[in-house]
Amino acid sequence: MPAVAPPLPSRNLGRTELRVSTLGFGGAPLGDLYARLDEAQAVATVEAAVAAGVTLIDTSPLYGHGLSEHRIGAALRRVGREGVLLSSKVGRVAEPFAGRGDGSGYLGGLPHGMRFDYSYDGTMRSLEQSALRLGTDQIDIVLIHDVDIWTHGADAIEDRFSEAMAGAYRALDKLRAAGTVKAIGVGVNEAEMCERFAHAGDFDTMLLAGRYSLLEQPAIASFMPLARKKDIGLMLGGVFNSGILATGPVTGAKYNYKPAPPEILARVAAIEMTCRRYAVPLRRAALQFPLGHPAVSSIVMGAVAPAEVADQLAELAAPVPLELWSALKAEGLLGADVPVPE
């Protein structure tokens, strides 16, 4: 019989009373991001995660223009909500009869348009739409989504940030005070924007993608110390940096959603070589490394099949010798002061 994985450890989500599994489930791929998924398999993947002890499920209206939320809602109606914390996002409002348009980035998904709206009323409408798609009356964690230069460009970011703080933040702060939601935060791809929001408002959590990984840790210089000071619980996405830390420096390896440049390929090759000396797969080291930082509550991983969930759980549970982290530091592949798993 296959070995039974040990129970998933959990951590507090910052200063809140919420406990989240150190492995969270990320719903972006369930929106048909890279491929059109079989509906039954998509639902079974969420069910497998919950059955394995994953207690944090994160999604967004963006993911498949609502399809990810539909599929997650279907799965939770089958297995129940007990012990599961749902996280979704605001900042986009669905327009069902407007057509998809171009540039969504999703291969499939629902045929509904999405428009940016960080206003107070837009936030309330976005959250109501998410609750309907999920088929729930409780969304525990709500994040202001994609207020970053990556999404809006340098010329528009000031207006978007001001709109988000005057509208979305005010709405979410009111919902939190009323007990309608349990935690509020932001979800972005840039540590600088996380830091800016942390200074501007009273946030419980932040979901940061790609900026704290085994490959690179730009968030550690300023934002992560601030998160510790303010006791903001971090959820980390993109710990494989769009794939290269899972595949290794192979031909066509992706970094930040594009083919990896030569310098990134070379650095990953050096990290992988050190991992091999200690008989540790690169993806195992990449999964476990971010949890060494005390500000990190959970790493949020996407999956499109139950076997992927099982693989993530196995890699998180497998041993990694402390000597590996020391070797990576000695070789200049990790900073001397970067915290590592113990």
| Residues known to be catalytic | 58, 63, 89
- Start-to-end CA span in the chain (Å): 30
Residues 6+ apart with CB under 8 A from 89: 59, 60, 61, 62, 126, 130, 142, 143, 144, 145, 187
Q: Is 213 helix (H, G, I), strand (E, B) or coil?
A: coil
In contact, 109 and 32? CB cutoff 8 Å? yes
Can you list the alpha helix ranges (DSSP code H) found in the chain?
39-51, 67-79, 120-134, 149-152, 157-163, 169-178, 191-200, 223-230, 244-247, 262-277, 282-288, 306-317, 322-330
Element at 234 (helix H, strand E): strand 233-237
Quote the CA–CA distance of 290 and 207 in Å, as a whole number. Answer: 13
DSSP one-letter string for 164-204: IIIIIHHHHHHHHHHTSSSEEEEEES-HHHHHHHHHHS--S
* 161-170 burial: b if 16+ Cβ within 10 Å, else e: bebbbebbbe
Kindly state the tokens that stand for 290: 């971010």
Q: Is 270 helix (H, G, I), strand (E, B) or coil?
A: helix
Nearest to 48 by CA among 315, 312, 316: 312
Quote the CA–CA distance of 17 and 20 in Å, as a whole number. Answer: 10
Nearest to 240 by CA among 192, 291, 296, 285: 285
**Residue showing tokens 């940096």:** 241
